[in-house]
Amino acid sequence: MGNTYRRKTSEEQGFKEEQELIDHANKLMAQTEPLPYETLLAEFKKLLESYSTALEETKVIMSVSDRLQNKLNKVNLQITEKNDLLESQAKLLEEKNKEIEAQKEQLAKINVSKS
**Over the stretch 36-65, which tens digit does the pLDDT of each residue have?**
999 999 999 999 999 999 999 999 999 999
Per-residue confidence at 114, pLDDT binned at 50, 70, 90? confident
> What pLDDT digit, counting tens, does each position of 11-39 carry?
566 789 889 999 999 999 999 899 999 99
**Of 114 and 25, which is predicted with more confidence?**
25
Burial call 84-102: b when 16+ CB within 10 Å, e when fewer:
eeeeeeeeeeeeeeeeeee
**Helix 37-114 crosses helix 16-30 at what angle (to 10 degrees)?**
140
Helices (H), 1-115: 10-14, 16-30, 37-114
- What is the value of pTM for the model shown? 0.60
Q: Is 43 exposed, middle or buried (0-12, 13-18, 19+ CB in 10 A)?
A: middle
